[in-house]
Amino acid sequence: MKKSKQSHTNLEYENKTEKNEQGFYAWTAKVGTKGQIVIPKEARNLFHIESGDTILLLGDQNQGIALISGDKMAEMLQAIKGKIL
């Protein structure tokens, strides 16, 4: 597990990264006073997320929240559109 302390826009957080053999990753981020989170740099680089990108937040009361990048969101919408037509 890789750990680093970073500060970004006055938010202090401890970044922890874990990866298993299947390519699944897990990061942690703290929520700031305004409800903001900072997506860790390693995650932004890995998933090609840049400032200004749109991120889809999916929520399930039992499972939690997932973030989907704009590219993956477009792929999902195309797949749904194909199944409907």
DSSP 49-67: --TT--EEEEEETTTEEEE
Average pLDDT per 10 consecutive residues for the chain, totaling 85 residues: 48 53 83 93 90 89 88 79 73
Q: Where are the domains of the chain?
A: 1-46, 50-85
Q: For the chain, report the end-to-end CA distance as a whole number of angstroms.
A: 45
Please choose, from the candidates 8, 30, 4, the residue with its C-alpha nearest in 3D space to the C-alpha of residue 17. 4
Rounded Cα gap, residues 45 and 47, in angstroms: 6
Amino acid 39: pLDDT: 93
Rounded Cα gap, residues 11 and 28, in angstroms: 13
Whether residue 67 contacts residue 44, with contact meaning beta carbons closer than 8 Å, is answered with no
The pTM score is 0.60
